[in-house]
Structure 1
Amino acid sequence: MAASPDPRTRSASISGWIAALERTARIDAQPARIFPCVIDELAAQYGPAPALIGTDETLSFADLAARQNRYARWASARGLGKGETVALLMRNRPDYLAIWLGLTRVGVRVALLNTSLLAQGLAHCIAVAGPRVLIAETGLADAVASAWPHLAETPALVWQGDGCTPEPAGEAVRLAEAAAPHAGDPLRDGEGPAVGLRDEALLIYTSGTTGLPKAARVSHHRVMSWTHWFAGLIDPTPEDRMYDCLPLYHSVGGVVAPGSVLIGGGSVVIREKFSASRFWADVAETGATLFQYIGELCRYLAAAAPDPAETRHRLRLCTGNGMRPEVWERFQARFAIPRVLEFYAATEGTVSLYNVEGRVGAVGRVPPFMARRSPALIVRHDVETGQPLRDASGHCVPAEPDETGELLGRLSSSRAEHSFEGYTSAQESDRKIVRDVLRPGDAWMRTGDLMRRDAQGFFYFVDRIGDTFRWKGENVATTEVAEALGRCAGVSEAIVYGVAVPGTEGRAGMAALTVTPDFDPAALHLQLAALLPAYARPVFLRIAPGFVHTETFKQRKAALAAEGFDPDRIDDPLYIDLKAGYRRLDRDLFTAVTRGGIRL
């Protein structure tokens, strides 16, 4: 059983919760105060202090405010009205934030496009947003050109950055040149439309790992809530610097991380992407005190060779999501990280959790004094149907402590933070809502995540719905199996999924592994016997040279699962568990398994 949190940590965490509550409680009192207005206030307070530090330029608070206001006036002068959409395709740099802040100041909705997309994938994301204008970085002109033939309606093009104007532009509009003549002082009352918290600010896309990306609607209220709540938890000061190498087109990298630190007068170090080889030197050189992570980044760093700069940093806090327990302890100890703040949230979600007490492996906790306000509910889940389990009265069944179920978020039309703003597709929005959960007529949002909650109120992520599979009559959570594999000698990374085997019910577990030279299948078999019940141990292994991940380092399981364990389709070495140990899987063994000659 895990030890109780340190009383000193508990006291600090309660202070963080109270600070977060105080910051967010004031938001609704000023319905016209949106985040671009906050930037103007910060510019008046901090002026020449650095706000956004990129590799190509640094913007002070005064610079950022002036630039956003020029972009706001440019948008109005171009005739972009309230509620219209502009799509933004740019790599990470300070100007990125200035653009969406300025456009949303005058009521324009900005769709933040994934810079790794091409052709039909990029065209789909543009089409679902329906923008009048696409602002694109000149360095991404080839991506724009690849998408153009797949668009039924093409937006006007405006280019950000230097270089010649590439095709398929009909006119050479340069954003910086077009905005330069406009004034940079704060917009005056009556200048531009009235924009409030309930208006839409952004479209932020889901990752699309299980289908085409969906565009989630993000209101100004949500931007304010995210940034102010998180600022309360991390307590930023003007001495703080946030190291941000996550994509700016995602909610955490582009809104939560920079916005929360700016609120406290701190600065944000913006990098185009994560570099394991340069990370610690860059963190040390920039004087970063905060780091926004995705769990896989921490795993890469913990597995990397020693770096002379890895303990020369000034980090006081690393915050993010997806840090596996076996990585957490190694990462924090090796790099002398004083505090890790793990959290759980989703762009379109109505529930978020924060592990302010630092319990290893937990994604958050609902303290007793917050229980009545919490919208989080775990209900029993039917793996076979993929739906919440219903009782005889038709209501969902709340999960018991330490029982795995789906996390739901309560919806409320009277509480903005508990409203589901949905996607641009009404059909996709409806699919996320489940009704009559605890009583007739109530409504909750499905997160699609399986979790469990312990007796102390700590929440633990178990798996994504659709990843968990049944084998030998038991539910197997792929995340828990992957965590066990990550503790085994010789395993660098593990992706776990279920594969169909003719003549058997359910799906057999399979793990694709990247390994080190000392990997030994026999030793792995012995280690897994001590870590996992028999039904959860992978029946098949695939030793891969490497994996393809999403832009936020999520694993792509679908292609691996589709290839199964057929040696004629897979060039990588394959193994099968024959109870006595793992044995190389060849054509003869494959035939014996698929024809029922070997019982698994």
Structure 2
Amino acid sequence: MSKEKYPIKDLPHPTTYLWENEFDYFWNTKSNQQNWTLPKVLKDQASKIPDKEFLQFSYNKALTFSEVNAVANQVANSLSKLGITKGDKVSVYMPNSLEICLAWFGILKNGSVMVPINTAYVMDFLQYIVESSDSKLIIIAEEYMDRLANIQTRIPLIENVVVWSRTDENTFDVMGYKEKECISWNDFVNRGSDSEPNVEVTHLDHARLMYTSGTTGRSKGVVRPCAADYSSAQNYSNTMDITTNDTIFTCLPLFHSNAMVMSVYPAMIRGAKIVVEEKYSASRFWKWMKDFGVTKFNLVGVMSYFMWNAPVVPEEKGHKVKLVLGSPAPHDIIEEFMERFNILFMEGYGLTEVGQCTFMRPGEAFRVGSCGKESSGYEIKIVNPETDEELPRNTPGELVLRPRIPNICLHYYYKMPEKTVSDFRNLWFHTGDLCRMDEDGYIFFMDRVKDYIRRRGENISSFEVENLVASHPDIEEAAAVAVKVAEQGRYSEDEVMVVVIMKKDKKLDPAELVRYLVPIMPKFMIPRFVKFRDMLPKTPTNRVQKNKLRDEGITKDTWDSLNSD
């Protein structure tokens, strides 16, 4: 369906969803921020509803609030025995599992800071996160131990390694790692008492150090206070009307904020149940929805189109799902999508630094093409990217925002004071996204102002892609840009294309370049498209004119890894 056939308009469906809780836009001005900490929320729920099912991984038995709280206490007390104290950083490098959630809760109960690591990161990417975060301990899946072995001499601050195994055994393969003591997850947990840790955690204390891709440098460490994570989770809970009767589902990675503070944490706050799967499966998704009795879940990026293109299955209508949050929703097929899958959509927009800062408003019609209005606690403007002057309504510009209440955004970028000041210039946080705002305050995402790429739910720095591609001995220079692929849908995410300039008299097969990149680059960063040119278009100051490369897009001489022999 073309965009022209469906101009911006309203769909009435949100008004047909009956919210059980009254939507309160001003909830956070009435709430005591001193209670906005995960350790307090979990402890209180374990006391109020101890036997209520809370956390389930796949088809395994669900743990109750009291059971989860007890294991979280064990994790916290075991960390303390290992010398990990309040404010210390703990890296977590694990796939989706029950244990990654328990690790998260326990780290915060100890007053420590969780550093989730993308499981696609290898070599320099992995080293950079562990080293720059000053992590003293890492909790890692056994299957990734060879990756840790590759960098073991380059992460001297790590004092202990806790190894989680899928077999749930105390023995594991260190795969060549021998630098520091390794402890099995089971031994680690059993060393700690299940009594409440004697640690005071406040809303101002830091909960997570989340790394997000930059555009002109290495990934930035986003320091998120406890209050910010609570605010994000509570805003989501209000907008999605999460109640104790809900079953929320996520298969999104738990090293990202969406799964953490917009699925698991809302379930904890509202006394709901959360079911976690390791990763998305088009063939099993709707069976999961039916089997688990799911009522709410989130979609990101191209997932909507994966679902749409999957074969029809009986379960896609025979489920209990009431409401889905899309970031973004598939606007070009949204009405057919809702009809086929028997669901209703909400939509929002957010960043790691500031949380979900826009949502569709409950009780108002869904506005096709929009990511909603400013969320509770935020003030948003659309400004001229060069001058920061506010623009008239319906004029494209950069989305900037600031909090209306304290502590709901990042505190700062870790060890990057200049970047912190730059992104908060003129006392507004600059998102780097090109948007417009209509007369009613609805916001429409249009493009990127900053030079980064969004693929498979990941932000990709073109700077990092270019550096690794250009490290090939036969390549002189490279530029990485985002391109769209028509068959994936106009509102799907980007694919990565690199335009390569070879050194004199050198030739290179694109497939050989990809093979070169595989061991040193996260999988989601590896370019799908490769194009060779004699030179790159540049400005008089020698900056690559990437807008010209993007406009040129995929041409007949562009190599596509999916269509190669």
Q: Is the pair's TM-score, using the shorter chain for normalization, greater than 0.5?
A: yes
Q: What is the identity, as a one-letter code, of the residue corresponding to 2:428? A: W
Q: What is the 5 A alignment of 1:108-187?
A: 108-151=112-155, 153-161=157-165, 162=169, 163-166=171-174, 167-169=176-178, 170-187=180-197
Match of residue 389 from structure 1: 386
Q: What is the 5 A alignment of 1:308-457?
A: 308-337=314-343, 339-349=344-354, 352-356=357-361, 357=364, 358-366=366-374, 374-380=378-384, 388-390=385-387, 396-410=388-402, 415-417=406-408, 420-435=411-426, 443-457=427-441
Match of residue 52 from structure 1: 55
Q: What is the 5 A alignment of 1:222-261?
A: 222-261=228-267
**Partners of 1:306 and 1:102 in 2: how far apart?**
41
- CA offset at residue 208 of structure 1? 5.7
For residue 352 of structure 1, give the secondary structure of its aligned residue in structure 2: strand
Matched, 1:65 2:69: yes
- CA offset at residue 64 of structure 1? 0.5
For residue 305 of structure 2, give the secondary structure of its aligned residue in structure 1: helix
For residue 400 of structure 2, give the secondary structure of its aligned residue in structure 1: strand
Q: What is the identity, as a one-letter code, of the residue corresponding to 1:415? A: P
- Describe the shift of the 1:195–1:494 C-alpha distance in structure 2 as closer, same or farther (beyond 3 A): closer
Q: What is the 5 A alignment of 1:280-295?
A: 280-295=286-301
Q: What is the identity, as a one-letter code, of the residue corresponding to 1:342? A: E
Contact 1:123 1:147 in 2 (8 A): yes
For residue 345 of structure 1, give the secondary structure of its aligned residue in structure 2: strand
For residue 417 of structure 1, give the secondary structure of its aligned residue in structure 2: coil
For residue 124 of structure 1, give the secondary structure of its aligned residue in structure 2: helix
Q: What is the identity, as a one-letter code, of the residue corresponding to 2:300? A: I
Q: What is the identity, as a one-letter code, of the residue corresponding to 1:131? A: S
**Partners of 1:583 and 1:451 in 2: how far apart?**
28
- Describe the shift of the 1:583–1:69 C-alpha distance in structure 2 as closer, same or farther (beyond 3 A): closer
- CA offset at residue 496 of structure 1? 8.9
**Partners of 1:498 and 1:147 in 2: how far apart?**
28
1:381-426 CA distances to partner (integer Å, 9 max, x unpaired)? xxxxxxx233xxxxx32122211100011267x7222564333422
- CA offset at residue 228 of structure 1? 1.6
**Partners of 2:195 and 2:414 in 1: how far apart?**
34
Q: What is the identity, as a one-letter code, of the residue corresponding to 2:345? A: V
Match of residue 563 from structure 1: 531
- CA offset at residue 96 of structure 1? 1.2
Match of residue 42 from structure 1: 45
**Partners of 1:107 and 1:50 in 2: how far apart?**
26
**Partners of 2:63 and 2:148 in 1: how far apart?**
28
- CA offset at residue 93 of structure 1? 1.1
Contact 2:436 2:444 in 1 (8 A): yes
- CA offset at residue 494 of structure 1? 7.2
**Partners of 1:459 and 1:82 in 2: how far apart?**
40
**Partners of 2:271 and 2:308 in 1: how far apart?**
31
Q: What is the identity, as a one-letter code, of the residue corresponding to 2:271? A: G
**Partners of 1:403 and 1:304 in 2: how far apart?**
38
- CA offset at residue 495 of structure 1? 4.6
Of structures 1 and 2, the one scoring higher in RCO (CA 8 A, sep 6+) is 2
For residue 318 of structure 2, give the secondary structure of its aligned residue in structure 1: coil
1:508-555 CA distances to partner (integer Å, 9 max, x unpaired)? xxxxxxxxxxxxxxxxxxxxxxxxxxxxxxxxxxxxxxxx9xx9998x
- CA offset at residue 430 of structure 1? 2.9
**Partners of 1:88 and 1:418 in 2: how far apart?**
22
The percent identity for this pair of structures is: 24
**Partners of 1:54 and 1:40 in 2: how far apart?**
21
Contact 1:323 1:342 in 2 (8 A): yes
Equivalent residue pairs, number: 482
Contact 2:137 2:161 in 1 (8 A): yes
Q: What is the 5 A alignment of 1:261-276?
A: 261-276=267-282
- CA offset at residue 149 of structure 1? 4.3
Contact 1:324 1:483 in 2 (8 A): no
Q: What is the identity, as a one-letter code, of the residue corresponding to 1:360? A: V
- Describe the shift of the 1:584–1:97 C-alpha distance in structure 2 as closer, same or farther (beyond 3 A): closer
For residue 48 of structure 2, give the secondary structure of its aligned residue in structure 1: helix
Contact 1:133 1:155 in 2 (8 A): yes
Contact 1:329 1:360 in 2 (8 A): no
- Describe the shift of the 1:287–1:207 C-alpha distance in structure 2 as closer, same or farther (beyond 3 A): farther
**Partners of 2:16 and 2:112 in 1: how far apart?**
42
TM-score, with normalisation over the residues of structure 1? 0.71
**Partners of 1:492 and 1:246 in 2: how far apart?**
16
- CA offset at residue 366 of structure 1? 4.2
Q: What is the identity, as a one-letter code, of the residue corresponding to 2:276? A: I
Contact 2:54 2:267 in 1 (8 A): no
**Partners of 2:409 and 2:80 in 1: how far apart?**
32
Q: What is the identity, as a one-letter code, of the residue corresponding to 2:46? A: A
- Describe the shift of the 1:493–1:565 C-alpha distance in structure 2 as closer, same or farther (beyond 3 A): farther
**Partners of 2:500 and 2:224 in 1: how far apart?**
39
- CA offset at residue 176 of structure 1? 2.5
- CA offset at residue 340 of structure 1? 0.9
**Partners of 1:484 and 1:321 in 2: how far apart?**
19
Matched, 1:100 2:104: yes
- Describe the shift of the 1:485–1:128 C-alpha distance in structure 2 as closer, same or farther (beyond 3 A): same
- CA offset at residue 311 of structure 1? 1.2
**Partners of 1:454 and 1:561 in 2: how far apart?**
36
- CA offset at residue 139 of structure 1? 2.5
Q: What is the identity, as a one-letter code, of the residue corresponding to 1:563? A: K
Contact 1:204 1:217 in 2 (8 A): yes
Q: What is the identity, as a one-letter code, of the residue corresponding to 1:389? A: E
Contact 2:51 2:66 in 1 (8 A): yes
Q: Where do 5+ consecutive residues of structure 2 fail to align?
A: 1-6, 454-480, 502-517, 535-553, 559-565
- Describe the shift of the 1:341–1:423 C-alpha distance in structure 2 as closer, same or farther (beyond 3 A): farther
For residue 196 of structure 1, give the secondary structure of its aligned residue in structure 2: coil
Contact 1:148 1:154 in 2 (8 A): no
Q: What is the identity, as a one-letter code, of the residue corresponding to 2:386? A: L
- Describe the shift of the 1:186–1:33 C-alpha distance in structure 2 as closer, same or farther (beyond 3 A): farther
**Partners of 1:331 and 1:120 in 2: how far apart?**
41
**Partners of 1:97 and 1:49 in 2: how far apart?**
17
CA RMSD of superposed structures (Å): 3.8
For residue 157 of structure 1, give the secondary structure of its aligned residue in structure 2: strand
**Partners of 1:484 and 1:174 in 2: how far apart?**
47
Contact 1:103 1:109 in 2 (8 A): yes
- CA offset at residue 335 of structure 1? 0.7
Q: What is the identity, as a one-letter code, of the residue corresponding to 1:355? A: M
- Describe the shift of the 1:484–1:434 C-alpha distance in structure 2 as closer, same or farther (beyond 3 A): farther
Contact 1:21 1:229 in 2 (8 A): no
Among candidates 442, 448, 453, match of residue 458 of structure 1: 442
- Describe the shift of the 1:468–1:301 C-alpha distance in structure 2 as closer, same or farther (beyond 3 A): same
- CA offset at residue 233 of structure 1? 1.5
**Partners of 1:120 and 1:498 in 2: how far apart?**
20
- Describe the shift of the 1:10–1:27 C-alpha distance in structure 2 as closer, same or farther (beyond 3 A): farther
TM-score, with normalisation over the residues of structure 2? 0.76
- CA offset at residue 349 of structure 1? 2.2
Among candidates 304, 313, 328, match of residue 298 of structure 1: 304
**Partners of 2:451 and 2:135 in 1: how far apart?**
34
- CA offset at residue 205 of structure 1? 1.7
**Partners of 1:270 and 1:351 in 2: how far apart?**
21
Contact 1:302 1:330 in 2 (8 A): no
